[in-house]
Structure 1
Amino acid sequence: MTDDTPVPTGADEGPRLSAVVHGRNVQGHLQECLEDLVTGPAAPVEVIVATTDPAAHRLAERYAAQDPRLLPLPLPDGTGDAAARAAGAARATTPWLHFVPAKDRVPGGAWRTVTDLAAAQPPDVDVLVLDAVHSTWWATGRPSPDASVLARAGRVPRTLDDCPDLWRVAPLLGARVLRTDHWRAHPEWAAEPDAELLAYAALARARRITALDHPVLDDRRLRTASLPPPTPEDHYGLVGRYEAVQEVLAARGASTAVRAALYDVMVREWLRVIARGALPEPVAREFFHRAARAAARWRPPGHPAPPGLDGVRYRLLERDAYRPYRAVQGVNHQQREVRERWRTRGRRAAAKLRDHRYRRALDRPVHDDLAVFSAYWDRGVTCNPAAIADKLAALAPEVRQVWVVARDRVPLLPPGTRYVVPGTPDYWEALARARFLVNNVNFSGAVVKRPDAVHLQTHHGTPLKRMGLDQLSYPAAAKGLNFRALLARVDKWDYSVSANPHSTETWERAYPSRYVSLDHGYPRNDVLHRATPARIRAVRERLGIPRGRTAFLYAPTHRDYEAGWTPRLDLAALAAQLGEDAVLLVRGHYFYGGTSPLSGLRRDGRVVDVSAYDPVEDLQLAADGLITDYSSLMFDYAGLDRPVLVYADDWETYARTRGVYFDLTTQAPGHVVRTQEELTEAIRSGAWQDAASAKTRAAFRRRFCAYDDGLAAERVVRRVFLGEPESALPPVVPVDERRPVPTPQEADAT
C-alpha cells in the first residue's frame, strides 16, 4: 500500500477526526450546518460544537440529542472565534482537527474522504490541504480556482520546498485539516483571531503536507452590506498577517523558493487591495507605506519582478513611491476605460444586431416543417436526437431537419447534413422559426420559448447519480450550477422522454415544471432491440474482432471529485490474464504511451481503443459482456440481456460525493467486484455469465428497461411531430415478452 492510498474503514471504528464547529449562529446559518451533520453520511468523526451565543447553544443541544457524535460546548456569550476554536480543540480526542465556522457547511461525504486520507498519512504529515466551494446569498457550491494547484501537488506527502505553489491556495482554515499534535505544539495559535493567518502558519510550520483536490468546506460568503464596515486597522492587518508568516519562515530557515512564492502571493494581494479595495485616500496611502516597508524587508535577494505593468507596480511598491504608483494607476485606468469602451461598443453593437435579427425572426411565423436538432452541447448527429431524426425522415420526410453543430465538429458530420453553427445569423434564424426544437441537454438560455414552438427534451441516460435540483445537497458535484437559470431552461420543455419509471420519477422531481413525460423509451436504444445478425457481424469485423473471440466493452464513467482521469484497471495485466481469446474494447481517453505494454496488445487486437468510436450502440452490439463502474451505459446494455460486471472499487466515495439514487452494489445488473483480482477471477471462472448473474440482470431489466423495446423513436415521432394520441401509438412490449437480438456468438453461427 502506498502513502497516497486511503485505508479502508469499518462501520464500528472509533472517531479519527475531531471537527470543531465554532462561533455564533450568524444570520441563522448554524442550523443548516448541524442539519447536514446529523443527516449526512456517517463518518468516524466527533463533532465538538463550541457555541458562543444562546441561540447557538439551544441548536447544539437539540441536534446533539439526535446524534451522539455531537458534543455541545456552550461558551460565554460574546466569546471570540479564537477562544471558541481553542476551547473546542482542547476537548479533541482524535489525531486530527478540522475547524468549521458556524456559518459554513461540510459537503456530504467530505469527512469520510478526509478520515480515509488521514489514516494513510505517515507521522510527519502535519497538514492536509483540501479544496472548498463557495456559497453566497444567490448561488451555492461555486467551485474555487484552487483545484488545479491541489491536483498538481497530489496526494503524496511533500514539503513546502516540493510544492511552494500551495501558498496560492486560498488561506481558509476550514479547508485545512491539522494534526492535533501540530496544533498543540504551538500554544500561541490558540489566541490568534486571524483564521487566515493560522491557515498560513500551519503550512509554514508543517514538516510535510498532503494535498487533495476535494472540497471539505462550503465557505459561505456573507453579504458585505450585512457586515460591520471594516476599520482602517482591519485593512492594515493584512500587511501584518503576511509579515508574521514571513517571520516564521525566516526563523525556520526556509528556502529562497518557499519565501519567494509567498512573497509573490503577498505583494499581489496588497496591490489588489490598493487598486480595488475602494479605500479612503488616507487609508490607502498608509496601507501603501506599510506594505512598501514590508515588501522591502521581505523581498528575497535577487528576486525578479514579473514582466509588464505588474512588474512596474512591484518596483514602485518596493520603493514606497506612492505618487508615481497612483500616476501609473491613473494612466492605466484611462487606457483600460478607453479599451473597454471600444470593446463594449463592439459587443453591444454585435449583440444589438443579433437581438434585432432574432426578435424580428421571432415576430415572423414559425416554419411548421422545420425541426432543429442538437446533442451533447452541439457535438453532432448522435444519441436520442439522431435516432428521432432518422425515424422522422422515414415517417415525415416533408419535415426539414437542421442540426446545431459546433464549428470544430462540422467536418465530422455525415455527408448531406444540414447544419447551423452556434452564434451565427443562420443559427438564430433557425431557432426563432423552427416548429420543433430537440435536444438531449439544453439549448442556450438566450433561446426564447415561443408559444407555437415545441421543445422536446430527450435526456441522454438513466440517472444513477443525482441530477438537477437533487444536486443542491452535493455542491462538489454541482460545481457552481445556477439552479435558477437551470429551471428557466426546464420551463421551456414541452415534452420529456423517459426510458423507465425510475427516470420519469427522477426527472419530474429534479426538473419540476409543466412538461409532459413521454414514457416511450430511449430512441437511441431501438437499434439494440432490432439489430440483425448481419449488422452485429459487420460491426465486429469493422472493429477487428476475430470470430470466436469474446469481446468485453470496458466503459468507466467520469468522477467529479477527480481533476483528471485516474486509471482504475491495469489493462495490460488484465488482457494478459484473460488470454488470447479475449478482446478488450476500451472506451476512455487514457491510453498509455507508445512504449507501454499495451502497444503490443493493440497490435495483435487484444486491446482496441474505441474512445472516439461512434455510435456507442455499435460497441454494445459487438460486446459479449460489459465491464463498467457507474456509467449509465449499463442501463442501455442491460436491454440486450447480456452479462454485465460492475467494477465498484470506489463506490462509497462516488456515492457520497456525487450523490446517487440507489445502492448499485445491491441492485446491480450483474456481479459486483471490488478489485482487479476479483474481476479477473469472475471472467476466468465463467461467473460473469452464470445463473446468478442472469437472475440479477432480469430484475434490473424489468426495472430500468421497461419502455425500451425497439419502437421508442416511432412512438416519439408519432406523438410529438405527427400529433397522434397516446392510444394510437404502438404499445410497449413487456420485458418478459421480448426476444433479445442475437449475441455475437449467435450472429457468427447464422
Structure 2
Amino acid sequence: MSSDNNDVSLSIIVPVHKVQGYLRQCMESILEPGIPHLEVIAIDDCSPDACGLILDEFAERDSRVRVRHLTENVGLGQARNVGLDMATGDYVWFFDSDDYATEGAVRAILDRLNETRPDVLMFDYARSYWNGRVKRSIINHLFREPPAPDVFSLAERPQCLEMFTSIWNRAIRREFLIGTGLRSNSGYYEDVSITYPVLMAAERISLLDRVCYIYRQRRRGAITKTASAKHFDAFDQYDRIFAFMDQIGSYADQFRPTMFNRAIWHLLVIIERPDRIVASEKQRYFAEMSKWYNRYKPTGHTPPEDEPRLADKHRAIERGDFRAWERLSSPTLTAKAKKGTRKVRKLQKRGVVRSKELAKERYYYQMRLRMPIDENLAVFGAYWYRGYACNPAAIYEKVRELAPHIRCVWVVKKGGRKDMPEGVEYVVPGSAEYYRTIAAAKYFVNNVNFPDHLVKRPGQVHLETQHGTPLKKMGLDQMEFPVGAADMDFKTLIERSDRWDYLVSSNPLSSEAWERAYPCHYEMLEIGYPRNDRLVRATERDRVRLRADLGVPEGKTAILYAPTHRDYQRNYSPMFDIGRVVEQLGDDHVLLLRAHYFYKLKDMAADLGWPEDRVIDVSKHQSVEDLSIASDALLTDYSSVMFDYANLGKPIVIYANDWETYRLTRGVNFDLTEFPPGIVARTESELVDAFVSRAAWGDAAEKNLEAFRARFCPWDDGNAAERAVRRVFLGEKLPPVAAPAEASAS
C-alpha cells in the first residue's frame, strides 16, 4: 500500500471468529470513506458462521479490504500474526471484530500519526454495555494530566503503564514492532505480553485524547468472562513481560516497580471476579500468585500504602496467607446497597396490591410446580395466545406426525377459541388447566415470549420461533430507536429471552440480527421458517381452492396488500388512497386487504365505501399463508411477509413512500430500496403503474426477486418444521442446511 505526499498509511488487522451479529458494524466503522492510505486485513479464523461470507461482501465492494480465510481455527493471537505478516501499512492497529470505532476515529488517528510519527500512538476507548450504557475509560485523565508533549518516552511518562492492557487502544509502527521481535501469543491474556513491552521499547510515544474505540461488553461470548482454569494463563503472559525487561537490560529497571504493581492488580482482578476462577481452584491460583509475587518482587518494594486494603492484600499474597486474602476480599455492603435493601424491606412491609383471585391462581401454580415434569407434554402458543398460527402451528403439525407420543396443548385466549381447528387441544390462560399444564410441560413453543409469570423449571425446554425475518431492528437493537422502542423494558425482555433453549433463524440476516438483539444462551437453529414449508410445497390445486374460499372472481389478478405497523402512527392509516388506486387498477384487479394484527378494525371496505367486490378485507383471516398462495402478487411496504412470499416466486411490489421516516424511527437491518424483492414505488402513480404496466412481472423485477430469494430464503426447502422437531423433540443432531441450488447440484 503506497502513500502519497509522505502521508503515513495504516493497516487495521481484524481477526474474525463467530461474531456474525457484530461484524458489519465493526467493518463499517473502520472503512471510513475518502481515506486512501488505509487497508483492512480481515482474517477469517475458520469461523463456523456467516463471517467469511460477510467479509467477502465487504472485499467485493471496497478495494481496501483484504480477506484471508484460514482452513483451521488458530486463535486470536495467531490470527493477528497472520494479519501482521500480510500488512503493508506504516502502522498497524489490531482490532477485535465484535467492537467498533467511533465516527471519524480512523481519520483522527491518521492525522495524529502524521503529526507526531511515533513508534506507538495511544488513544482512549469507552465500554459499551448491553443495556445501552456507554462509559469512557476510568483512566482517561492520563491523556491530559499532567499535560504531555507531542512525543515522549516511557521513562518520561511511566504512568502510561497504567492504561488498559488490550492491544486495540494503540497504533504501532509496523517496522518498529517487527524489530522488537514481539509476536502475539495464544491464551486468554495474549495482549498483555505485547502492550507493555512495546511501550518500554518505544523511543517515541504519542497520545490522542479522544475516544476512538468502543469495547463491547457482551452478555455472552467473551472467553475472559468464563470461569475456567485457562485464566492461569495470566502468569505465563506476565512471565514474558519480565523476561523482556531482562532482555533489554538495566534500562527496564526503572519500570519494574510500576509493572509489578500493575501485574498484581490484574492478577487480583482475575481471582476476585466471580466469573473467572471457580471456587475449587481459587486456593491453587492464590498459591501461584504468591510464588509469582516473591519471584518478581523488585528490590526494596513496598506495598501501595496509599491504599491500605490493597497493601494488606499484597502482604497476604507475599506470606501465602490464603485465609487472610479471603477475609480482605469478602464483599462489603456499600451505603447504596444498604439503602436499596432498606427500600426493599419497606416495600415488603407495605405489601403489593394484587387481586385475591390472581393470588389464589398463582398459589395453585406454585403448588403444581412441585409435581414431576411430564416428559411427553408440550405447550404451544402464538401471537400472545391469539390462536393457532405461524411457525408454532407448522411445528405442531410435524410433532403430531413424527413424535405422536407427545401430547400437544395450545394456550388460547377466550376470543380465539372459536377459530381453533377441530381436534386441537387447548387451555385458556388463567384457568386451573392452564396452570397445571404450564407447570408440568416438558416443551414450550412460541413465536413471542411467554408471560413473565411462567417459571422455567430445570429440565423444561423452550423453543422460540419468532414470527418474521427482521428487516426492522428488534430486541436490544431498538435501544437506539426510542420511537420504535416506546416504553420497552429491555432488562425484562432479556430476562424472558434467557429462558430460550433454541431460537429459529429463517436466514443468515436473521442469525446476525438475533445474536445482537437477544444475546442469550440458546442454540441457533438455522433451519428456515417452518411456516414457509407450506408455501414451498403449495400446488395449483391449493391456489384454486383458496381463491374460491376467499371469493376471488375467476380470471382476476388478486393483489395481497399487507402493510406493516408504523410505530410513529397511533392508528391504522393507509399510506395511499385505496379506493382511488383500485379504480385506477381497473376491473381486472382485486385487492386482498390484510391490515396489521395490532389494529382492531371492522370491515373497512364497507365502512369506507370502497367497492366490496374489488376490495376484500381479509384482516381477520387466520392464515397469511393461505392468502399468499391464493394471490397473484404481493403489495407491501416493510412487512416481513415479503421474505416468506418470495418463496412463491410471484411478483412483489414495495410501496416505500415513507422509507426515510420508517428507517429513522424504527431502524432497519439493510436498505430495502437498494436490495428489493421486486419493484419499488414511492408515489401512488408509480404504485399503480407497477401493476397496470405489468412491470411487476417484468425482467428487472424478476431479477431482483431472484437475488432477494437467494439471499433471504436459502434454507426454505419445505423441511424446516421437520428439522425443528428432530432437533428439539427427538434430540437429533442436524447437518447444515444446503441452499436449494446446492441441494439440486448434489
How far did residue 361 of structure 1 move? 1.9
How far did residue 412 of structure 1 move? 2.2
Question: In structure 2, which of residues 486, 489, 506 is the aligned counterpart of residue 499 of structure 1?
Answer: 506
Question: In structure 1, which of residues 545, 548, 555 is the aligned counterpart of residue 552 of structure 2?
Answer: 545
Over 3 Å counting, the alpha-carbon distance change for 1:713 and 1:66 in structure 2 is closer
Unaligned segments of structure 2, at least 5 residues: 1-28, 31-101, 108-130, 135-347, 596-600
Equivalence for 1:435 = 442
Question: In structure 2, which of residues 727, 732, 737 is the aligned counterpart of residue 724 of structure 1?
Answer: 732
SS of structure 1 residue aligned to 2:421 = coil
Matched residues in 1 for 2:689 and 2:450: separation? 46
SS of structure 2 residue aligned to 1:372 = strand
Over 3 Å counting, the alpha-carbon distance change for 1:595 and 1:450 in structure 2 is closer
Query: 697-706 vs 355-364, which deviates more?
Result: 355-364
Matched residues in 1 for 2:103 and 2:722: separation? 54
Residue 586 of structure 2 aligns with an amino acid whose one-letter code is G
Give per-residue Cα distances to partners, 1:471-504, cap 9 Å, x unaligned: 1111111111111111111110000001101101
Kept in 2, the 8 Å contact 1:701–1:735? The answer is: no
Equivalence for 2:649 = 641
Matched residues in 2 for 1:596 and 1:446: separation? 42
Kept in 2, the 8 Å contact 1:554–1:584? The answer is: yes
Equivalence for 1:423 = 430
Kept in 2, the 8 Å contact 1:565–1:590? The answer is: no
Matched residues in 1 for 2:105 and 2:670: separation? 28
Equivalence for 1:608 = 616
Residue 548 of structure 1 aligns with an amino acid whose one-letter code is G
Equivalence for 1:672 = 680
**Sequence identity percentage:** 49
Give per-residue Cα distances to partners, 1:649-675, cap 9 Å, x unaligned: 000000000111111100110111101
Question: In structure 2, which of residues 729, 734, 740 is the aligned counterpart of residue 734 of structure 1?
Answer: 740
Residue 574 of structure 1 aligns with an amino acid whose one-letter code is V
SS of structure 2 residue aligned to 1:507 = helix
Structure having greater relative contact order (Cα 8 Å, sep ≥ 6): 1
How far did residue 738 of structure 1 move? 7.2
Equivalence for 1:210 = none
Matched residues in 2 for 1:360 and 1:533: separation? 53
How far did residue 532 of structure 1 move? 2.1
SS of structure 2 residue aligned to 1:517 = strand
Matched residues in 2 for 1:376 and 1:594: separation? 27
SS of structure 2 residue aligned to 1:347 = coil
Kept in 2, the 8 Å contact 1:520–1:732? The answer is: no
SS of structure 1 residue aligned to 2:665 = helix
Matched residues in 2 for 1:432 and 1:575: separation? 52
Residue 407 of structure 2 aligns with an amino acid whose one-letter code is R
Question: In structure 2, which of residues 676, 689, 693 is the aligned counterpart of residue 685 of structure 1?
Answer: 693
How far did residue 546 of structure 1 move? 2.6
Question: In structure 2, which of residues 473, 477, 489 is the aligned counterpart of residue 482 of structure 1?
Answer: 489
Residue 439 of structure 1 aligns with an amino acid whose one-letter code is N
Asked if residue 463 in structure 1 is aligned to residue 454 in structure 2, the reply is no
Asked if residue 661 in structure 1 is aligned to residue 669 in structure 2, the reply is yes
Alignment of 1:114-513 (within 5 A): 347=354, 349-513=356-520
Residue 665 of structure 1 aligns with an amino acid whose one-letter code is T
Equivalence for 2:531 = 524
Question: In structure 1, which of residues 531, 545, 560 is the aligned counterpart of residue 567 of structure 2?
Answer: 560
How far did residue 348 of structure 1 move? 6.6
Residue 706 of structure 1 aligns with an amino acid whose one-letter code is P
Equivalence for 2:626 = 618
Over 3 Å counting, the alpha-carbon distance change for 1:659 and 1:548 in structure 2 is same
Asked if residue 714 in structure 1 is aligned to residue 722 in structure 2, the reply is yes
How far did residue 592 of structure 1 move? 4.5
Matched residues in 2 for 1:65 and 1:424: separation? 58
SS of structure 1 residue aligned to 2:543 = helix
Over 3 Å counting, the alpha-carbon distance change for 1:416 and 1:595 in structure 2 is closer
Residue 666 of structure 1 aligns with an amino acid whose one-letter code is E
Over 3 Å counting, the alpha-carbon distance change for 1:596 and 1:378 in structure 2 is closer
Matched residues in 1 for 2:518 and 2:103: separation? 31
SS of structure 2 residue aligned to 1:726 = coil
SS of structure 1 residue aligned to 2:369 = helix
How far did residue 360 of structure 1 move? 2.6
Over 3 Å counting, the alpha-carbon distance change for 1:458 and 1:735 in structure 2 is farther
Over 3 Å counting, the alpha-carbon distance change for 1:594 and 1:66 in structure 2 is same
Over 3 Å counting, the alpha-carbon distance change for 1:433 and 1:63 in structure 2 is closer
Residue 488 of structure 1 aligns with an amino acid whose one-letter code is E
Matched residues in 2 for 1:512 and 1:579: separation? 50
Matched residues in 1 for 2:606 and 2:563: separation? 22
Matched residues in 2 for 1:398 and 1:595: separation? 49
Matched residues in 1 for 2:687 and 2:461: separation? 47
SS of structure 2 residue aligned to 1:504 = helix
Kept in 2, the 8 Å contact 1:567–1:590? The answer is: no
Question: In structure 2, which of residues 635, 651, 668 is the aligned counterpart of residue 627 of structure 1?
Answer: 635
Matched residues in 2 for 1:378 and 1:531: separation? 27
Kept in 1, the 8 Å contact 2:132–2:479? The answer is: no
Matched residues in 1 for 2:706 and 2:739: separation? 15
Equivalence for 1:573 = 580
Over 3 Å counting, the alpha-carbon distance change for 1:736 and 1:688 in structure 2 is farther
Over 3 Å counting, the alpha-carbon distance change for 1:345 and 1:590 in structure 2 is closer
Over 3 Å counting, the alpha-carbon distance change for 1:510 and 1:593 in structure 2 is closer
Matched residues in 2 for 1:561 and 1:607: separation? 26
How far did residue 353 of structure 1 move? 3.5
How far did residue 357 of structure 1 move? 2.5
Over 3 Å counting, the alpha-carbon distance change for 1:136 and 1:666 in structure 2 is closer
Over 3 Å counting, the alpha-carbon distance change for 1:137 and 1:531 in structure 2 is closer
Matched residues in 2 for 1:549 and 1:405: separation? 36
How far did residue 552 of structure 1 move? 0.9
Kept in 1, the 8 Å contact 2:484–2:568? The answer is: yes
Matched residues in 2 for 1:709 and 1:387: separation? 14
How far did residue 710 of structure 1 move? 0.7
Over 3 Å counting, the alpha-carbon distance change for 1:352 and 1:461 in structure 2 is same
Matched residues in 1 for 2:679 and 2:558: separation? 17
Equivalence for 1:696 = 704
How far did residue 383 of structure 1 move? 0.5
Residue 675 of structure 1 aligns with an amino acid whose one-letter code is T
Over 3 Å counting, the alpha-carbon distance change for 1:424 and 1:344 in structure 2 is farther
Kept in 1, the 8 Å contact 2:605–2:615? The answer is: no
Matched residues in 1 for 2:586 and 2:358: separation? 60
Kept in 2, the 8 Å contact 1:553–1:623? The answer is: yes
User: How many residue pairs get matched?
Assistant: 406
Kept in 1, the 8 Å contact 2:605–2:617? The answer is: no
Over 3 Å counting, the alpha-carbon distance change for 1:348 and 1:674 in structure 2 is closer
Over 3 Å counting, the alpha-carbon distance change for 1:397 and 1:595 in structure 2 is closer
How far did residue 416 of structure 1 move? 2.7
Matched residues in 2 for 1:449 and 1:657: separation? 35
SS of structure 1 residue aligned to 2:480 = coil
How far did residue 569 of structure 1 move? 1.9
TM-score w.r.t. length of structure 2: 0.51
How far did residue 385 of structure 1 move? 0.4
Kept in 1, the 8 Å contact 2:604–2:617? The answer is: no
Kept in 1, the 8 Å contact 2:412–2:426? The answer is: yes
TM-score w.r.t. length of structure 1: 0.51
Matched residues in 1 for 2:132 and 2:467: separation? 31
Query: 483-492 vs 360-369, which deviates more?
Result: 360-369
